[in-house]
A and B are shown apart, each in its own frame.
Chain A
Amino acid sequence: MKALIVFLSLWSGTVLASAMADCPYGQVRQFYPQGGFTCVPSGMMYPQSQPYCISCQQQNPWGQTYTQPWMQPQLPWMQQQRYPWMANYQSPWWAQQGQLYYPNFNSPGAWQYPGMQQHYYPGQGQMFLGKPNVYVSTGKTKLTSFTMEFSAKDTANFLATTPSLTDSKWQGTASEDSFYVDGVKYSYLFYDTRADHAQMQYQAGWCTEHGATVKSMSDELKALGFSTQAIKDFDEHWNEKLPRVDSWCVYPQYNQQLDKILPVKLTPSMPFVRVAFVLVPHNQEQRRPASAFPQPPRRGHASLRPTRSADQQVHMMEWGVAFLASELIR
């Protein structure tokens, strides 16, 4: 019997080795029903759950199928994490790639519950405003030139921008729903930034379970009049990038708050609707956010919304999502 087990082990090892033979160094071959075999970094060769798994639900030498106990999703720590084998194959291409290469892909950056690890990033401010996207709508008009300038040059703490800023501004033309900067078409302008959390409001908003959080925010975008494409981009991005916690408190920030931390000058002058959602993990049992700061929202947010006159065709709109530094709310 022992000899048989040894033989089977050697045989299965040979089969596995041959299956792995033509992947680059440091990678192994893994099977996905939708995509066939794919080379993935060896560190990702975790046991997986059915049906995407060839290694976790496996047969033991006695022919019994079993799941490695540490991979059972009912364990609490599993519910806090996402791993490559949990990849959603309906995800956009960039998310599938990101999940293969970065263990923390499904978070907004260097995240550690309950917030961002600020020491990884330059600059000041304990709020990390992720992916504000700026959209334009010109209707039938063409803007032969536009400038979007961040006025507080000395206090801005950008982490990323697309396209590159020149002297704290973007310049170009705009037509229909696109920007053109240096002759390149951008569907939106993008930046990540650090900012002062103390300038935000923490009285109005809502708390909701994890699964309903993105939808609750995109409903707010609809109420503000964002375009279908802007809302689609929002859903696509944050369905992938929202860290898994039981529930979130959402504190929406609008022009009144955002203009204080990152004032913007638009030329020509036009309406600019801004919204950013500050997200703080919510401890449902104790009915408060993950720490004493901030308090759960105590009132509705509808009265804070900026308004835009419907007859002003040319306008810009910006959405973003922010997380606080772990040190602030731990």
Chain B
Amino acid sequence: MKVYVLLLALSCSSAWALSIKGQATVEPSCKGGKVMMWLSKDAQDFAKKILLMHTEVPEQGTFDFYVKPGEYLVVGSNEKGCSFQQVVRILDRDVTIAAILKEKKP
């Protein structure tokens, strides 16, 4: 049923904008500087990845991406190399995410 709804949504959704809303926060060890939030269509094959938009957000700042229904990859990164990553599947309602940037673990 979900698949059917997704297909239906995708087939008639040229004007349908849904929002991925978020706030960019960082762990204490990651503080200092702005955060870049990236929105892309992900793919196994690197060459097929498509960056759709990105926005620079201050720490604690908020952002909105407006998208068609589908699956997206939201990434946050900062100059210190801290990062956040979440796959967002958006179907028929807005999605809110908490983008918490953390240090990369070895």
Contacts and interface: CB of A to CB of B under 8 A. Distances in A.
A122 B13 contact: yes
A162 B63 contact: yes
A109 B52 contact: yes
A122 B63 contact: no
Given A42-B46, A104-B51, A120-B50, A159 B66 contact: yes
A305 to B, nearest CB: 28
Among B45, B58, B67, chain A packs the most CB atoms within 10 A around the CB of B58
A9 interface: no
Contact of A160 (B46, B50, B55): B55
A182 B38 CA distance: 23
Secondary structure of the A contact surface, majority rule: mixed
A102 B49 contact: yes
B86 interface: no
B21 interface: yes
A294 interface: no
Contacts of A264: none
A105 interface: yes
A186 B63 contact: no
A165 interface: yes
B82 to A, nearest CB: 11
Interface residues of A, number: 39
A109 B52 CA distance: 5
A123 interface: yes
Interface in A133-165: 157-165
Contact of A162 (B14, B40, B56, B66): B56
A7 interface: no
A181 B39 CA distance: 23
A120 B39 CA distance: 12
B21 A164 contact: yes
A185 B54 contact: no
Given A43-B46, A122-B68, A163 B61 contact: yes
Interface string A174-192: 0000000111111100101
A105 B39 CA distance: 11
Given A101-B38, A186-B58, A122 B53 contact: no
A184 B18 CA distance: 25
B28 to A, nearest CB: 17
Given A109-B52, A159-B66, 16 more contacts: A94-B36, A102-B40, A102-B51, A103-B46, A103-B47, A110-B50, A121-B52, A122-B14, A122-B18, A122-B68, A123-B66, A158-B66, A160-B64, A162-B61, A162-B64, A187-B58
16 contacts: A43-B45, A43-B46, A43-B47, A94-B36, A97-B77, A103-B49, A110-B50, A121-B67, A122-B14, A160-B53, A160-B55, A160-B64, A161-B63, A183-B60, A184-B58, A190-B55
